[in-house]
Amino acid sequence: MATTIRTDAQPARKASLRDRFDLGNGMFPYFLVAPTIIIIALVAVYPIIDSIRLSLLDNPLIPSGSNFVGLRNYLQVLGDSAFRNSVGVTLIYSVVSVALETVIGFALALLMNKAFPGRGLVRTAILIPFAFPTIVSAQIWTLMLNAQNGLLTYLFQIMHILAPGDSLLRTPSGVVTAAVMIDVWKTTPFMALLLLAGLQVIPGELYESASVDGSNRWQQFWTITFPLLRSALLIALLFRMLDALRAFDLFYVLTGGGREIQTMALYSYANMFVGTTFDFSPGVAAAMILFIICAVVGIVTVSLSRISQN
């Protein structure tokens, strides 16, 4: 992608202003992309800027107008132990679930990269969790994990993973474990399909000549498969990581909207809508902190992939 743009741009550099924008299509393409870009600017970019303003006010919901309080909301949020816990929960959940999804997704992709009877069936089956709304998958797993009559609770108790009468959803670490399990169940297929697409464009001759040279499968994986998949892997990792960092629905259902264990998004929501109106701005500030973390992760990953490409 990036290389094609550069080759387009080079000859245009010396051209006149009109020619510079005119690559055979005039201004026409800009009119076509304008509506989408305007919508995104108004509904996604502008609210982020407005968030900064709101996060510096004491109470934007009162009609009489609110006062500028500087960074007070940010300091309040950073000083709140519930917020610091939510940062920990979010990071642990994101890193563990994305790592597991990558490893299992990779294994699945390698497994499906060979033609065999029933492959279509498997590919279809793993798309089913993918179609589930997160809220529904969280709900049905909650039913399976509940203390009273959950199927998984019953199995865990038989296997002595859980004490009789106990349930995974009773402790914070149990909730995070459950969340990781559900996320792995739901989104590993996405990872597997992206990596499978990457695998299928690797020419088979590479493996043939490697076999002739006497390298074994394990060596072939590290010398051929992994390097050639690196950029597909980075993109998949970035998407999954940013999606995990904003986790909301899953924890909302697992905790019954409770406040003992929260992700950053859930903490922000609870401040904005569950507390008093004076908690609204700290909630917006917490959401801004999450936004900044996501932006940093995105920028770092994109620059890493640029470096690895050069």
Partner 1 sequence: MAERELVAPAATTGVATETESKRQINWENLGRYIALVVVLFVALGPFYWTAITSIKIDSEINSSPPTLIPHSFTTQNYANAFLSVQPAFAKDLLNSTIVAILTTILALIFGSICAYAIARTKFRGKGGVLAIILSVQMFPLIALVGPLFVFFTNTINVYNTYVALIIPYLVISLPVTVYFLTSFFRELPPDLEEAARTDGCTRLGSLWRIILPLAAPGVFTTAILSFITVWNDFLFGLTMTSDSTAQTVTVAIPLFNGEHLIAFGEVSAAAIIVTVPLVIMVLFLQRRIVSGLTAGAVKG
Give the residue among 266, 77, 283, 238 at the shortest CA–CA distance from 176. 266
Kindly tell me which of 106 and 280 has the beta carbon lying closer to partner 1.
Answer: 280
Q: Which stretch binds partner 1 (CB under 8 A): 54-62, 70-78, 92-100, 162-170?
A: 54-62
Structure tokens, 249: 């629905």
In the list 67, 81, 115, 216, the residue contacting partner 1 (rule: CB under 8 A) is 115
Query: Residues 145 to 204: which contact partner 1 by CB under 8 A?
Result: 146, 148-149, 151, 154, 185, 189, 193-194, 196-198, 200-201, 203-204
Q: Which stretch binds partner 1 (CB under 8 A): 8-16, 67-75, 79-87, 165-173?
A: 8-16
Structure tokens, 93: 């959940």
Least distance to partner 1, CB of residue 256, Å: 6
Give the residue among 70, 97, 116 at the shortest CA–CA distance from 247. 97
Residue 11 sits in the site that holds partner 1 (CB under 8 A): no
In the list 71, 103, 127, 300, the residue contacting partner 1 (rule: CB under 8 A) is 127
Least distance to partner 1, CB of residue 128, Å: 6
Kindly tell me which of 278 and 291 has the beta carbon lying closer to partner 1.
Answer: 291
Least distance to partner 1, CB of residue 153, Å: 10
Residues in contact with partner 1, shown as a per-residue x/- string from 65 to 104 under the rule CB under 8 A: ----------------------------------------
Opening angle at CA 270, ends 266 and 275, nearest 5 = 170
User: Residue 221 carries which side chain, given as an amino acid letter?
Assistant: F
Give start and end residues of each alpha helix (H) in the chain.
Answer: 2-12, 17-21, 28-40, 46-54, 72-79, 81-112, 119-131, 134-145, 151-158, 172-200, 204-212, 217-220, 226-245, 249-254, 264-269, 280-309
CA distance 172 to 255: 9
In the list 44, 159, 163, 307, the residue contacting partner 1 (rule: CB under 8 A) is 44
Kindly tell me which of 70 and 212 has the beta carbon lying closer to partner 1.
Answer: 212
In the list 37, 75, 274, 300, the residue contacting partner 1 (rule: CB under 8 A) is 37
Kindly tell me which of 176 and 272 has the beta carbon lying closer to partner 1.
Answer: 272
Kindly tell me which of 16 and 124 has the beta carbon lying closer to partner 1.
Answer: 124
CA distance 90 to 262: 8
Residues in contact with 310: Cβ distance below 8 Å, sequence separation at least 6, in sequence order: none
Least distance to partner 1, CB of residue 298, Å: 7
Q: Which DSSP letter does residue 146 get? A: -
Structure tokens, 282: 């700290």
Residues in contact with 199: Cβ distance below 8 Å, sequence separation at least 6, in sequence order: 109, 110, 113, 225, 229
In the list 135, 274, 296, 304, the residue contacting partner 1 (rule: CB under 8 A) is 135
Query: Residues 250 to 309: which contact partner 1 by CB under 8 A?
Result: 252-253, 256-257, 264-265, 268-269, 272-273, 280, 283-284, 287-288, 290-291, 294, 298
CA distance 2 to 127: 31
Q: Which stretch binds partner 1 (CB under 8 A): 55-63, 70-78, 94-102, 172-180?
A: 55-63
Structure tokens, 7: 């080759």
